[in-house]
Amino acid sequence: MNDGVVAKAIAFANVDGEFQYNARWWTGSMTVLVDGAGWRTQVTRGKLGAAVAATGDGLSGSGDDFQVNASAETWGNLLKVVPPSGYVDYIAAAAVGGLVLSPAHPDAERHLATRRFCELLRAAVNGTDPAPKPGGYTRPHGTFDKAVGRYVHLNIGGYDNRVYFEESGQGIGLLCQHTAGADGRQFRHFLEDERITSKYRVIVYDMPFHGKSLPPVEKAWWAERYTLTPENAMALPVQLAQVLGLDRPVFIGSSVGGMLALDLARFHADDFRAVLALEGGLHADIPEGALEDSQDIDPAKHAATMMMIMSPTAPESSRQETRLHYAQGAPGAFPGDIDYYAVTHDLRGQGHLIDTRKCAVHLLTGEYDFPTIPWTELAGREIPGSTMQIMEGLGHFPMSEDHEGLMKYVLPILDGIAAK
């Protein structure tokens, strides 16, 4: 990063809508270091001053001084036109090593502002256009989508739960489970894709406490911590399939839904003909203490963090929409789901007990979901007869990040199931 590149990135930031919006209340400083030496700029309500030489010393300690210090190798990866997995942003690089942030866990707006500045640095280094790139499918005014939504009452965990779901298409049932702390909007493209709906009755639901599925009214849910248990996680798709009269449907889920897919294959093989586990494994091998930040009650902060495991090649508008899903989640929903995802979902030593002759198992994980890849690969080795693929150019939320990218992997599987 020479002086010209730094000056160009600062000029970008001072007129960039995304940076200015997220930095509008920020007055302090930003220090960028390569192996302990680099430059610093003063920040005044989002406007950056000229860069001056700096080290990591002499910060005010006010909490508004942001500092990033990384090795030359790490900066080289961060600033590539297409950064490799683990180097999409500062938070990702800190997770894989070679980079230190101060503060280590910035709030949502500071995270998004400094993340955007990294993108502006990348554009300055490579001579690319940093302008935002909106996009997505549109329809003529007055056009109705195919999906129709309604509520069904299910007894889960001894309580009446009013569960919201949307459906579209005809054929084999295809139940779609969202990720932890999010909702069924993540699968909205499945509901409108004729390549799927011509063969499948696609059903996308919101878990209780998520999206349009409220907590059960019979309990004082506000007076206790929400937690997702294995029993309740499995009961929802099993009961929903029964109520809707589905004949051994297919289940697809991502993240917490990917873990659930394998529990269903293990314990409910007679109820499902196949499961597609996106971003799943037999167990989440997470070091003790590493989950402390996931207990943060601010959904916006967590949503910003999740961008570290999204693919940089996915459509920008889809990545931002995925972040929006998370930011709108209920406080406490994500930590409660993680109880199941990271702790109580545990099929270690049981992979060989999953009978893929009864219930086929397909494991799919995005290359930018760097924490999950080892868990998925292990599951592929331990579940006899399963298929396993690492999906190029996709991240932890493939169905909402890049629907078309995911279809390259999912459509052949769904077509094969439908042909049997």
The answer on 313 and 282 residing in a single domain is: yes
Q: Indicate whether 277 and 397 sit together in one domain.
A: yes
Same domain for 386 and 255, yes or no, is: yes
Both 120 and 156 in one domain: the answer is no
In a shared domain, residues 316 and 400? yes
% residues pLDDT > 70 (the chain)? 96
| Residue spans of beta strands (DSSP E) within 17-96 | 27-34, 37-44, 47-48, 52-55, 65-70
pLDDT of 172 > 70? The answer is yes
Q: Are 157 and 297 in contact (CB under 8 A)?
A: no
Domain assignment present for residue 142? The answer is: no
Residues 117 and 218 in one domain: no
How many domains does the structure of the chain reveal? 2
87 within some domain: yes
Residue 162 has pLDDT above 80, yes or no: yes
Is it the case that residue 61 has pLDDT exceeding 60?
Answer: no
pLDDT of residue 1: 74
Report whether pLDDT(287) > 80.
no
Q: Which of residues 96, 126, 156 is at a domain's end? A: 126
Residues in the chain: 420
- For residue 37, list its beta bridge partners: 34, 55
Which residues constitute the domain of residue 277?
Answer: 148-287+294-419
| Last-in-domain residue among 126, 158, 192 | 126
Residue range 377-394, pLDDT digits in tens: 999 999 999 999 999 999
pLDDT at 297 over 70: no
Pair (339, 259) in one structural domain: yes
Give the per-residue pLDDT at 62. 57
Residues 71 and 210 in one domain: no
Give the tens place of pLDDT for each residue, 97-155.
989 998 877 888 999 999 999 999 999 999 999 999 998 878 999 999 999 999 999 99
- Chain centroid, CA 180 distance in Å: 8
The average confidence (pLDDT) of the chain is 94
Q: Tell me the CA distances in angstroms from 18 to 109, 110, 304, one per residue in order.
A: 10, 12, 13
Residue 339 belongs to what H/E stretch?
Answer: helix 333-339
Residue 137 lies inside a defined structural domain of this protein: no
* Residue 131 belongs to a domain: no
pLDDT in the model for residue 135: 85
Same domain for 316 and 397? yes
Which CATH number fits the domain that encloses residue 106?
Answer: 3.30.1050.10
Asked if 41 and 171 sit in the same domain, the reply is no
pLDDT at 56: 75
102 token code pair: 């101060």
Confirm whether 330 is domain-assigned.
Answer: yes
The answer to whether position 261 is within a domain reads: yes
Residue (of 243, 244, 242, 262) closest to 252 by Cα position: 262
Kindly state whether residues 118 and 160 are assigned to the same domain. no
Q: Are 87 and 78 in contact (CB under 8 A)?
A: yes
User: Is residue 270 domain-resident?
Assistant: yes
CATH assignment of the domain containing 260? 3.40.50.1820
In a domain, 140, yes or no: no
- 103 prior amide bond cis, ω within 30: yes
Do 114 and 194 have their domain in common?
A: no
- What value does the mean pLDDT take over residues 276-302? 80
**Chosen domain end from 126, 157, 184:** 126
Count the neighbouring beta carbons within 10 Å of the beta carbon of residue 397. 33
- Nearest-Å Rg of the Cα atoms of the chain is 22
pTM: 0.94
Per-residue confidence (pLDDT) for residue 302, from 0 to 100:
86
What confidence tier does 296 reach under pLDDT thresholds 50, 70, 90? Answer: low
Dihedrals phi, psi of 95, to nearest 5 degrees: -70, -35
pLDDT mean over 364-387: 98
